[in-house]
Structure 1
Amino acid sequence: MTDKYLTLVNSGPAGKVARKLGLPKPAVLRRYRHGAPLVPGPLLVLGSTAAADSLATELLGWDQDVRRHARPGEKLGAIVVVLEHLADPGELAAPVLELGQALRQLERGGRIVTVSRPARETANPAEAAARQGVDGIVRSIGRELRAGATANGIVLRDGAPITAAAGTLRFLLSGKSAFVNGQFITVGDAGQDATQDEDRPLQGQTAVVTGAARGIGAEIAAVLSRDGASVVVVDVPAAGEQLAAVANRIGGTALQLDITADDAAARILDHVQQRYGSLDLLVHNAGITRDKLLANMDSARWNSVLAVNLASQLRVNESLLASDVFAASGRIVCLASTSGIAGNRGQSNYAASKAGVIGMVRSTGSSLEGTGRTINAVAPGFIETEMTARMPFATREVARRLSSLQQGGQPIDVAEAIAFLASPAAAGVNGEVVRVCGQSLVGA
């Protein structure tokens, strides 16, 4: 669905009126375009440690125009702040205040990315305080930025070298992270390949996407195909015609089945084995809503939502992880929701299912540590879909403007995050939940 207000205020006359009246003026976001530069201008790396020097060298290897100090009056495409050395809160002041001065030079659609260490992995209270302080700084900056710029953080596990952050850094600097703001992604050292083919990182892989007949699922399938994967699209028989159209459009294959059926996993694995040999990626996108206030909730609404959104994923994952068809470096990516994080009125069943997905991902991620396989989740916020188009006008407008980016996301924003988590660059990301919400907790 088109956000007509966003289009209007980015035209000359209407934009001036909005500014005079103090109305929100959401920017047109910088999204990925084939052939476009990674960042729209020079890239500033702040930090005085050897790790900062090492990361700057890594970025130079990507043919980026890297600065170690801001030049007066020069516009910057991105600023990376290396804070992995913090041992005391007093050490925050110098790099963060230097960042504050450089913010005035940030280009439209620019990116701020910090690299720090996890507070929970140190027993030193002062060190933990300094590390956790980065969290508040980044989330605050994300709310201060304008013109489509974003601020996010990479939390590098203790023991992982600074270069392990490179693959995630590329994603957060790129247009593929347009609707990710105020978020942190924890990364371990698992041999990530940050030098992968940016245009075809999934070349030669096979992916399955459930709930793929329309909306976000169809967009996920299209982006995975764009990135080189052979894609199997799955949906219920009632959506067969639309599913076939998606498969034809991306050059994939269609599999009609009910994901809640006892034999769903067996049918998926059999289809993949016969057509492609092995499975590299499963995206659990299938989901339903049956909204009612809890006082009016019945067992049919409750059970159907939990069956599709959560129980089916648990059952399929169990079969998948026990199968030789699933690749040794296989990826599972699940669709959660900000409703599962913040709750949402009239969605106790949906929120329970999506919170359950998050719990499942974190637990399964722990069991997969060191195996070469990963599982992660993407939690969309307000995304412009057929479902949100049916919301009452006033409710929809409020939901759009409550994010730091003052707009809803697009299905492609969710798809880009999933494609990143599926890529070799995300090998060190496991058990994580990446919110794609423009820094908002409005339920999806």
Structure 2
Amino acid sequence: MTHLGGSEIMDKSYGVHLPGFKELTSKDEIKIAKVPDKVYIPLSQHLGAPTEPIVEIGERVKMGQKIGASKGFISSPVHSSVSGTVTGIVKMAHPNLGYADNIVIENDGLDERDTALKEMYHMNFDKLTAEELRHIVSEAGVVGLGGATFPTHVKYMSAGTSRVEYVILNGGECEPYLTSDHRRMVENAGLIIKGLKYIMKTVGCEKGIIGIEDNKPDAIKILRQETAHLKNIEVKEFPAKYPAGSEKQLIYTCIGKEVPSGKLPLDIGVIVNNVRTAIAVTEAIEFREPLIERVVTVTGKGIKHPANYLVRVGVLLSDLIEESGGYTGEVGKLVIGGPMMGKTLFTDQVPVNKGTSGALVLLKDEIVTERERTCVRCAKCVDQCPMFLEPTTIVQRVKASEIDDALEVGLMDCIECGLCSYGCPARIPLTQYIREGKQVFRARPKK
């Protein structure tokens, strides 16, 4: 979590009005990023079991060809973003795993496409069954593009055991600086609506909602125009405050239902997907294209020409930054994602993966570097928590290695929004301690 500086206005229900810095990129059209001579395709691009390479060094591959697969239930295949020759498998920095394996492919510049997805089923989209739609989404490697990268087909399969009343598309994009969702909604509204319809059919749902923060009036206008004739799809706008775009907050804002502690949205009859995921679903079904590219916001005071780019998976952040004019000064912090929930990187030699929403560069003079001090018991973290938790209590339990007690006071209910750390006058990295506590819990042997 990065301290943004500036003022914030507390909303008594939940959330904070943060300085957005979205004007750096929100008005400009998405650019097509250059494709380099080599790409580095991460084998771990999703939540769940990692994939294993199914291609050999020296093998020629086509654009869109499956190159990584897993036998795990919660997993998603990986595809080549270029045509060319596999030249190696190397470990590189990874935002979530520290280091991870990447398949290196030398780009031949031909973009010769693989046809395996097109050969799966007929192209009469309206007559595809729910099971066929799920299978296409699975084979296309579609994952949640709102940050969690949970395999999308698994979420839809789980819906088969429950009644789904609403599918909600998340267009909140409440993180400061990030505008890739915003630009997608403005430029690709038709693909989003088609994707929502396919998702609704796949999970057997008749009601769809697209939730958008009110700081995106152009996106709201376009999507309302595109859905005006649809009685079962509604565009809902809500106040722009952080973290209103978080899944549980979005559900409550859109339909007035709370997700109970320890439960999932599906338990109350709701499926939530990001607007970009809906686009990926449409592209998989109608164009039979796997998820091999995404829009990335390259932004911050440390970037000469901030912009949104449509980027192939496997392009290095260093290449994107160079295409944006390079650094403007001494870099204080490079963040993948946004400043609140993103991960700080120690190098720009990191390949773009399916979950890369942004590359934020902050200059050294923007970074607040204060030593952690003793808690002053001000309760600001409690006041700002959108989950109504007591972050200091959870952290005390984590620091004492009392993980069971931390669970009792809401360790796993924390959504890691970063507001507690952001507002802490003692500069205690509360969110980081909570993340570490979760890691300890998840590393426990399964009973």
Q: TM-score, normalised by structure 1?
A: 0.30
- Bigger helix share: 1
Q: TM-score, normalised by structure 2?
A: 0.30
